[in-house]
Structure 1
Amino acid sequence: MTLERTLRDPVQLLDPAQYVDPVPTPGCDVCAALARQLKEAREPHGPKYDASRASDIVVEMRRHQEGVEGK
């Protein structure tokens, strides 16, 4: 058996110019809390600035909105 070292399909990358943050679901307390945390994590001069944490929050919000449990 041989090991394939190439991808079968081309890699699809997101266009950063077209990227849109997840929008909090109206009336959802979890979404509201995550949106606040995201805003704090992205404030460059704020005490809670953390670009890595901001990325994690975006993933968490998307998973929450899709109903995916766990991490």
Structure 2
Amino acid sequence: MALERTLREPIHLLDPELYVEPEPTPGCDICGALVRQLREARNQEGPNYDLTKASDIVVEIGRHPHEDGEPK
């Protein structure tokens, strides 16, 4: 069996110019904690600098449900 060197379907990339980072909900303790963790993960001078973790936190903020049950 030969290895395939091409993809079966095209890859669709997002335009970084159109990316909008999710906004934390004001007054939400969990969102507040995630924002603090995000700042620490993005701080190049800090001991917790980790852009992979920062990316994960952005996703978590976007998926965090609130009173209406919907992610913001």
Q: Identical aligned pairs, as a percentage?
A: 59
Which residue matches 1:34? 34
Off by >4 Å, runs of 4+ in structure 1: none
User: What is the TM-score of this pair, normalised by structure 2?
Assistant: 0.70
Look up the equivalent residue of 1:58 and give its one-letter code.
V
Look up the equivalent residue of 1:14 and give its one-letter code.
L
Superposed, which structure 2 residues align to 1:1-71 within 5 Å? Answer: 6-7=8-9, 11-65=11-65, 66=71
User: What is the TM-score of this pair, normalised by structure 1?
Assistant: 0.71
Please, what is the CA RMSD of the aligned residues?
1.9
Give the paired residue count: 61
Q: Which has the higher helix share?
A: 1
Q: Which runs of 5+ in 2 are unaligned?
A: 1-6, 66-70
Q: Which runs of 5+ in 1 are unaligned?
A: none
